[in-house]
Amino acid sequence: MTDDASVAGEPDTRALDDLLDDIYRGQERVTQADIYRRAVAADLPADLLARIDSLPEGEYAVDEASDLLGGSVA
């Protein structure tokens, strides 16, 4: 068995998790627009950018954003 979740048919969420960890450092809530801007600047894959872009406008706590985007940050 392997630790690589993407091999087991699960999406690899490391890039998303790293982005959310960085964005929410010292922040309680962040807007969808801020998450998207940071994701573009971090050169995240197009599928992750599309998921972030599809979030409704508003502010999100890290657990809300992670749940909605398919990450594993809590």
| Two tokens, residue 23 | 């964005």
Phi and psi dihedrals of 48, rounded to 5? -70, -40
pTM of the model: 0.80
pLDDT, tens digit, for every residue of 24-42?
A: 999 999 999 999 999 999 9
Phi and psi dihedrals of 29, rounded to 5? -140, 145
Please state, in angstroms and rounded to a whole number, the distance separating the CA atoms of residues 64 and 18: 15
Q: How confident is the model at residue 72 (pLDDT cuts 50, 70, 90)?
A: confident
Element (H, E) at 73: none
What are the residue ranges spanned by the domains of the chain?
Answer: 14-69
CB atoms within 10 A of CB 22: 10
| Predicted pLDDT at 1 | 42
Q: Find, among 74, 64, 70, the residue nearest to 13 by Cα.
A: 70
pLDDT, tens digit, for every residue of 2-21?
A: 444 444 444 568 889 999 99
| Predicted pLDDT at 11 | 55
* Average pLDDT of the segment spanning 33-62: 95
